[in-house]
Amino acid sequence: MAKLLEGKPLAETIKEGIKQEIATLKNKPVLASVMVGENAGAESYTKSQKKAAEALGIEYNLEKLPGDTQESALIEFIKKLNADKATNGIIIQMPLPQGIDYKKISAFIAPEKDVEGMHPANIGKIIFGKAKILPCTAAAVMELLSASGADLYGKEVVVVGHSEIVGKPLALLLLEKFATVTVCHIGTSKAGKLEEHVRKAEILIVAVGKAGLIKGDWVKDGAIVIDVGINRVAEKIVGDVEFEPAEKKAAQITPVPGGVGPLTVTMLMRNLVEAAKLQQA
Ligand code: NAD
């Protein structure tokens, strides 16, 4: 039976480190969270973000703009936050009203305030191994791998999913550790080759969003499995990997929920502290 790689206790340890770092800063770090229009889901998400931030000694400012805000006005608002010395980090809440392009907008966030780590300048730094602010979910996976104790050097790592927020940055971070990285995606499945790649994974990371995509018996004996997927099935949250059979074969596996999820918001807060340090330097 695999050992569970749990995100919560790891997040608590990292949070202690974040609190200590905050204590060394001249000013309390400030996060601006920009929300356009009303949305119940985003509203409740920002409430839990605020709670998590404040528990660490971070000031969380929810900046609510009316639903009829134009793209140009939102860009101006972000520029104002960029110029505001008291604001250390900026995040934009989804969904945005129709007609506003998230990618276009987020590129206006100053790279040193981009605490989601998705600005092209920050993504570009990953290629050079110089990134200080990392995409949160990819960073969360790297923390779990580090906690697993696995030496990534020369390991067969298979990443399923090649999104901009998870799979692609992760592949680069893993290469930085000299892992042998295979990235699979819908094309791999369509070519009928997903199983063959998954079977050779000493470390398997799955971020697709399809419950049961990875069959438990595909998992290599003794593998480390990180399941990023979040799927609601019959009122339950499950990952992309068939948990029970996979748990019998893996050496370590993340539970869903309780694996990657609790770490992601912690990575956002860590990015904010990193951003504040860069700005105060
Ligand atoms: P995405 O939709 O942007 O990308 C999905 C990826 O899966 C693509 O690379 C696509 O090619 C691939 N894919 C789709 N069908 C496939 C198939 N049949 N076989 C192989 N590959 C296939 O997704 P995303 O934003 O990266 O999110 C992926 C999952 O991770 C979702 O369930 C999401 O909810 C979850 N997620 C969790 C966290 C967290 O904090 N735990 C954070 C971000 C995303």
25 burial type by CB count under 10 A (0-12 exposed, 13-18 middle, 19+ buried): middle
d(CA 180, CA 154): 6
The domain defined by 27-113 folds into: Rossmann fold (3.40.50)
Q: For residue 187, what are its two tokens?
A: 């094309």
In order, the DSSP letters of 57-103 are T-EEEEEEE-TT--HHHHHHHHHHHHH-TT--EEEEPSPPPTT--HH
In order, the DSSP letters of 177-241 are TT-EEEEE-HHHHHTT-HHHHHHT-SEEEE-S--TT-B-GGGSPTT-EEEE---EEETTEEE-SB
Please give the share of the chain, as a percent, with pLDDT higher than 90.
Answer: 97
Ligand 1 and 194: CB distance under 6 A: yes
| CATH 3.40.50.10860 domain span(s) along the chain | 27-113
Test site for ligand 1: of 159, 228, 268, most ligand atoms within 8 A of the Cβ: 228
Query: Which residues contact residue 247 at a Cβ distance below 8 angstroms, ignoring those fewer than 6 apart?
Result: 1, 2, 216, 253
Query: How high is the pLDDT of residue 65?
Result: 97
Answer whether residue 280 shows pLDDT above 90. Answer: no
Radius of gyration for the alpha carbons in the chain, expressed in angstroms and rounded: 19
Pick the CATH number of 136-261 from 3.40.50.920, 3.30.70.20, 3.40.50.720, 3.40.50.1110: 3.40.50.720
d(CA 103, CA 186): 22
> Is the entire prediction scored with pTM above 0.85?
yes
Query: How high is the pLDDT of residue 80?
Result: 98
Query: How high is the pLDDT of residue 19?
Result: 97
Per-residue pLDDT tens over the stretch 22-62: 999 999 999 999 999 999 989 999 999 999 999 999 999 99
Find the angle CA(112)-CA(114)-CA(119) to the nearest 5 degrees.
Answer: 100
Q: For residue 255, what are its two tokens?
A: 């539970």
Ligand 1 center from residue 53 Cα (angstroms): 26
Per-residue pLDDT tens over the stretch 89-146: 999 999 999 999 999 999 999 999 999 999 999 999 999 999 999 999 999 999 999 9
User: Which residues sit opposite 180 in a β-bridge?
Assistant: 156
User: Which amino acid type is present at position 201?
Assistant: A
Q: For residue 65, what are its two tokens?
A: 């703009």
Per-residue pLDDT tens over the stretch 67-79: 999 999 999 999 9
Closest C-alpha residue for ligand 1 atom 5: 208
Q: For residue 75, what are its two tokens?
A: 């860009």
Closest C-alpha residue for ligand 1 atom 26: 163
Ligand 1 and 168: CB distance under 6 A: no
Q: For residue 148, what are its two tokens?
A: 């697993």
| CATH 3.40.50.720 domain span(s) along the chain | 136-261
Contact predicate 34/77, CB 8 Å: yes
DSSP secondary structure code for residue 140 in this structure: H
- Integer angstrom CA distances of residue 25 from 128, 273, 277: 28, 9, 7
